[in-house]
Amino acid sequence: MPEIVNKSDHRVFGFSVAALTVLLYIVLAYHLKRQETGWLIAILATLFACYGYLISYSKFSIRELLTLAVVLRLIFLFADPELSDDYWRFIWDGSLLSHGLNPYANTPDEVINRYGFSDLKSIYPRLNNCCTHSTYTPMVQWIFFGSVWLGKWWGGPVFWMRLVVFLAEFVSAFLMIKVLKESGLKVRSAFWYLLNPLIILEFTGNLHHEVFVVFFLCLVFFFMMSDKSNAAAMALGGAVAAKLLPMIFLPGFLKRKGWNSALLFSVLVLSIPLLTFLPWLTIDSVAGFFSGLRLYFDRLEFNPSLWFVIRALGYGINGFNIIQWAVPVMAVCSSGIILWYSMIRPGAPGHQTVVMARQFEIVLLVYLLFSAIVHPWYVAPMVLFAVFSGSRFGVLWSGLVMLTYAGYSKTGYQEYPMILLVEYLSVGLFFVMERKKLWASRG
């Protein structure tokens, strides 16, 4: 009898935690503004505590946890993103396409001075950056366009963007669970991703298109597990077509193959983004796209780690921000480390899925540590890799990186060095502890 009561108590408490989680997401979706820092951080901390309990200690079945994951995403179906205003640029680019204009050819400032479309004039004041060209890839541009076009008929563009995101998340969940089962790993590990507050808020809530990177990376894991190398290459190409960043994972695949196979794999990976860029292969489009990328990396800073130290040294020695010449140097350093780790360092033993996930998370870790811009949603692939690798430093990072929302106010964004110190020191220490444990297990 005591055991039955104990299980019953666990169920009751579990449902209470799930109910609290649902309530807090409703508050975030419809009642809280990004500038309400105290409430926002308190709610995020509570959500992460509930998230950890539901996966580690609750007695919920896989089906019950899946149901909860779906419900938490459906909460946002009719909500406007409150924690990010990037979606206005998504709508802007889609609106340009609906008028037959090229989103890469001109900046918003140039467009608004040249054309008199009323819908663009209403969107323009809401943009957070009006002087740069679009840096979103053609694959997601078509999603923006389709959402704007359908939104004119019913629901608005945000609804349709969210529907596409929801579909990508649904398929990703299916693929994750499939890979875990076929690899002999714990299916419950999928919920480190599926119930993660950062994932739910930044993808379903804020509509960031890294969700499509995660979707294609899930396909990569699925096809590699099924020994379908060419299909995996095209899936990796899809991830690159969604965002150029996944190119950093390519060297890790080339090491496993002979020259002929490596060449074919590379061609397949590169062909997918090139095909999506074909309709935009004009001088104005290419120049505009790379101009936007250059300005993005040369001028913007957000939540950096190593770059924070380099920047401080620059001010101390030279008296000014050295970002324009330091960023290329740091890019070369991170590229060198990634190539060494992916292609020269001896491979680790273990199941292919686990080894590949651990390699991916180290490669992404190196990239992010050397980057001047680490938005919360940039950490999202780390959470996916944690599902397969068994590491949890990425999960911890997904919680701590949300502390950066404390810097937002009605007047803009302010960087807090103490938050950076807590975030990166905690993640670093936890990473070292996990690595020591892993090395000890290998003898």
Other CB atoms within a 10 A radius of the CB of residue 62 amount to: 12
Work out the number of other CB atoms within 10 angstroms of the CB of residue 268. 18
| CA torsion, ordered 81, 95, 211, 174, to nearest 10 deg | 100
| Residue numbers of the chain with a pLDDT score lower than 70 | 1-7, 257-259, 319-324, 346-349, 442-443
CA atoms within 13 A on the CB side of 16: 6
Which whole-number Å values give the CA distances from 350 to 12, 347, 361, in the listed order?
A: 39, 10, 16
Distance between CA 140 and CA 142 in Å, rounded?
Answer: 5
Task: State pTM to two decimals.
Answer: 0.94
Q: At what angle do helices 210-225 and 380-389 cross, to 10 degrees?
A: 20
Asked if residues 163 and 207 have their Cβ atoms less than 8 Å apart, the reply is no
Residue 375 CA to residue 253 CA, distance in Å, equals: 27
Instruction: Write out the two tokens for 135.
Output: 């840096």
DSSP per-residue letters across 28-74:
HHHT--TT-HHHHHHHHHHHHHHHHHHHHT----HHHHHHHHHHHHH
What's the farthest any 2 CA atoms get from each other in the chain? 77
Using CA atoms, how far apart are residues 92 and 110, in angstroms rounded to an integer?
Answer: 13
Q: Phi and psi for 75 in degrees, rounded to 5?
A: -55, -35
Asked if 62 and 55 count as a contact pair (C-beta separation under 8 A), the reply is no
Judge residue 68's burial from the number of C-beta atoms within 10 Å of its C-beta, 0-12 exposed, 13-18 middle, 19 or more buried: buried
What is each CA distance from 301 to 41, 100, 177, 371, 420, in whole angstroms? 22, 33, 36, 9, 13
pLDDT of 4 reads 44
What count of Cα atoms within 13 Å lies in the side-chain half-sphere of residue 189? Answer: 23
The owner of tokens 């889609």 is: 94
Q: Per-residue pLDDT tens for 302-347?
A: 898 888 888 777 777 776 666 667 778 888 999 999 999 988 776 6
Contact 236, 203 (CB under 8 A): no
Return the pLDDT at 410. 78
Tens of pLDDT, residues 83-115: 999 999 999 999 999 999 999 998 999 999 988
Confidence at residue 179, expressed as pLDDT on a 0 to 100 scale:
97
Contacts of 299 (CB under 8 A, 6+ apart): 323
- pLDDT value for 3: 47
Helix (H, G, I), strand (E, B) or coil at 183: coil
CA atoms within a 13 Å half-sphere pointing along the CA-CB vector of 250: 24
Domain ranges of the chain: 2-83+158-281+287-441
Beta bridge partners of 302: 373
- CA gap 230, 184 in Å, rounded: 24
